[in-house]
Amino acid sequence: MSNFKILIIALLTSAVSFLNANNEVDQLKVDIKAIPGTQKVSVSMEGLKGETMIQLKDENEVLLLQQVTSDPAVLKVLDLSALFEGKYDLLLTTGNREIVQPIFMEENNVTAPKEGRKVYFSPVVNVAGSKVDVSWFNGKIADMKVRITDLNGSIIYSEDINNVVKVEKRYNLEKVLRGDYVIVIDTPRKTYYENVSIK
């Protein structure tokens, strides 16, 4: 078997392992549809765990709507008739992922093409004593940067991680003073901040 085939099989196996490790991925069902002949969009989500945030932003990233729910299932109809014509993004953030659905407003109609929908996974940070585990699945090759700072913003540790699909790293912070720190993770999509306490 060629090295390329082995690499592809390894990447697919890693992706499936990561997805199966997150039960919410297997159970989450999302359906976003424009209601024909109206300026409304229906949003249906099942299998939610924890808080889910629903946001609507315009092309300039201005937040127009934000709702938070802890319900395990959501069924909403969003009336967008007060909006101007143009492109908007509906963002659904739950667990470790963010679903971005583009919505196009026209004179008397709205469309939400499924083929434009994107799913982004946010990094997961776990702390056990002085050990900090960072994991992230991107679905495609990308670069990321991990920084550990104190509460004043002074960098304690920094690492560039290049050309990865998936990251699973453990940072041993036994030599730093006990206290509160910030894990800063730069991904192609955005920068994530996680406050941690080292004991």
pLDDT digits (tens, 9 = 90+) for 58-77: 999 999 999 998 888 889 99
Report the distance separating Cα 117 and Cα 152, nearest Å: 38
3-state class of 113 per DSSP?
A: coil
pLDDT range class, residue 19, cuts 50, 70, 90: very low
CA 36 to chain CA mean position, Å: 29
* pTM for the predicted model, two decimal places: 0.69
Q: Which of 3.40.640.10, 3.40.50.20, 2.60.40.3080, 3.40.920.10 would CATH assign to domain 123-198?
A: 2.60.40.3080
Strands (E), 107-176: 109-111, 118-121, 124-128, 131-150, 155-172
For the cut 80, the answer to whether the pLDDT of residue 14 exceeds it is no
- Tokens of residue 89, six digits: 């993004």
Report the distance separating Cα 77 and Cα 42, nearest Å: 4
Residue showing tokens 């056990």: 128
- Strand bridging mode 191-198 / 40-46: unpaired
Classify domain 28-120 at the CATH topology level: Immunoglobulin-like (2.60.40)
Mean pLDDT across 10-31 = 52
- pLDDT given for residue 1 in this prediction: 55
Report the distance separating Cα 41 and Cα 36, nearest Å: 9
Report the distance separating Cα 106 and Cα 117, nearest Å: 19
Of the candidates 34, 47, 39, the residue with the CA atom closest to the CA atom of residue 101: 34
The residue type of 133 is D
Q: Pinpoint the residues of the chain covered by CATH 2.60.40.3080.
A: 28-120, 123-198
- Tokens of residue 155, six digits: 């960098």
Mean pLDDT across 46-55 = 89
For the cut 70, the answer to whether the pLDDT of residue 161 exceeds it is yes
- pLDDT given for residue 94 in this prediction: 87
- pLDDT given for residue 191 in this prediction: 93
- Tokens of residue 102, six digits: 């583009």
For the cut 70, the answer to whether the pLDDT of residue 91 exceeds it is yes
Q: Across all residues in the chain, what is the average pLDDT? A: 85
Of the candidates 29, 24, 76, the residue with the CA atom closest to the CA atom of residue 49: 24
For the cut 80, the answer to whether the pLDDT of residue 155 exceeds it is yes
